[in-house]
Structures are given as C-alpha cells and as structure tokens.
Amino acid sequence: MDLEKLRIFYVVAKAGSFSKASKVLHISQSALSRSVQLLEYREKISLFKRTSRGLMLTEKGERLYNFAHSFIHEAERIIHCLRNNDAYGELKIVTSPHMGASWLMSYLREYLELHSEVRITIIGVTEKINAVEADVAICTKVPHHPNLIQRHLKSFQLGLWASPCYLEKHGTPKTLESLKDHQMLAYGDDILNPYGHLSWALELGTAPYLIDRPYLKVNSLEGLVNAAKEGLGIAQISGELPSIKNSDLVNILPELNVPIVDLYYIYKANMSDSKRVTSLGDFLEHKMKKESIISQSSLSE
C-alpha cells in the first residue's frame, strides 16, 4: 500500500471533505480526489460514500481509517523519540528470578516514569544466563566475551542470616568452628548458579571444621530466604537484598571476611548506541552511585 496515499486518505476522512483537507495539506481538491480514487482502485475497495453533506466512510473505509490513525500516530511517536534521542520500544531483560522480582523491581517505577515509551519484559532464569539471548542481562560477569559491554552496577556483600526463632532454639554461633554444629542452608551446588557463589560458608575453615553437608539445598534464592525466615537454618545470602532488609533475620558472625558478588549490566557491543538498551543501565548506575554516597556519609556520621 502506498503510504502517502494512505496519509492523504486519513486526512480527507478526518476532515470530512476534500475542500477542508485541501487547506490542511495544501494540495488541490482534484489531486486529493485522484489520490483517493487510485487507492480505492488499487485495493479494490470503496472507501467513501459521497453525500450532499460531504464524505461518509464505508464500513471498509472506517476500518482503514482506524488502522491509519494508529499507524500514523505510532510513526509520529517514533519519529519524535528519534529526533529527541529518547528511549522507546521493547526491552527484554534476562536475570535471575530473585533479582528480577525483588532488587530490580524496586527501581523500575521511577525509570518507567522517566521513559514512558519503553516496554520491559523480564525473564527469570535459574540456570546459566545467556547474555546474548536478550537485549540486556543483569547478572555476574560473563568471562571471555569481548563482544559484550559489561557495566558494573553493584557489589553485594554476602553474609550469614538466621531467624530469631532459629537462634532461640539452636543458639547463636560465636565462632567459625561452631557453624559445623548448625543447620546450614545452601544454594544447590549441583546446578549452574546465576547469583555467584552462595554456598561459600560450606568451604570456610579447615578440617575438622569444614562443613561437608548442608541441612537443606534449594535452587531458588527466594526459597533460600524463605527457608531462613521459617527457622530452618542459617542462609548464606546478601543482606542488601530487599527481602533481607525488610525481614527480621539476624546477621551471624558479621566480622567474617565474606565474599563479594558483583552485579553487571550486560549487552551486546553493537547495541551501545541504542538508547532503549543503554538508558536503564545509565539509570541504575546513577542510582547505585547515589546510594553508595548516602551509605558512606551515614557511616561517617
């Protein structure tokens, strides 16, 4: 279909007459009439009924008008976004289920208010995240991929967490060695872990203090958090996650030298000029820096 003739048809139908449309488009009435007639001829449909009051759309003309209205307004929206270098379109993000449902979700409302033309799809993956199967991956660093841009977002410090009811029943471990007498909860070690190393406490110390068997394994970070909340044992997770911050879980042995899990915003290098892809990374980087400054200033007080 000739898009210019579609545009002319749309303006004529909206104006209700060739004379009014002529003033809008600055094209003669005869030229507008010929354009509409040619569109009708090529598409083998009748678009207008000519009446004494002017032009009335036929049923097929009404359907084409509705299509043209949506098409033209969408095209104008996209052109506006391109001219103003705005982010728009679908953004597909792959990340771990808990990051997508908890950590990332806490920032999306503000981002989408700033970038209302972006439509986000979040895919939670419990196995190894493939950063090239989506527009963006939010996960730990992907090694040996020079074609990927990997922007550091945040470092999550891991820790040991237990519920007050567990500690009341089993006591609070005071030393590294005493962990072997407790019910340790671990992220399943027989599967690929998209969160980084969450079973590090099982490897702390040396024999006979090495913990060789956890009390419970689960391949879900949400399941791990819930198990700790239910008093099933001591979980090895980051206290910076919203699900931990908003709970009554207690940090055990906070003086331990614990591992760090680094989170990255990852996308293909050939997408580095796409505002749709980079805008969320820019936003998250800004939020992480702001939170870090606030955290450091509160510690210095």
CATH homologous superfamily for 89-153+263-300? Periplasmic binding protein-like II (3.40.190.10)
Domain boundaries, the chain: 3-83, 89-153+263-300, 154-261
For the cut 60, the answer to whether the pLDDT of residue 209 exceeds it is no
The Cα-based distances of 99 to 131, 231, 243 in angstroms read 15, 23, 10
CA-nearest of 123, 128, 121 to 97 is 123
Domains 89-153+263-300 and 154-261 fall in the same CATH topology: yes
User: CA-CA-CA-CA torsion for 88, 94, 99, 105, nearest 10 degrees?
Assistant: 20
What is the band of 194 on the pLDDT scale with cuts at 50, 70, 90?
A: very low
Poorest-pLDDT segment among 10-19, 184-193, 213-222 = 184-193
pTM check: above 0.85: no
Rounded average pLDDT over 210-215: 70
Beta-carbon contacts of 47 under 8 Å, excluding residues fewer than 6 positions away, are 9, 13, 36, 39, 40, 57, 58, 60, 61, 64
In CATH, the number for domain 154-261 is 3.40.190.10
Neighbours of 27 (CB within 10 A): 15
What is the band of 4 on the pLDDT scale with cuts at 50, 70, 90?
A: confident
pLDDT (tens digit, 9 = 90+) per residue, 108-145? 999 999 888 899 999 988 777 777 778 999 988 888 88
For the cut 60, the answer to whether the pLDDT of residue 285 exceeds it is yes
In CATH, the number for domain 3-83 is 1.10.10.10
Rounded average pLDDT over 272-278: 88
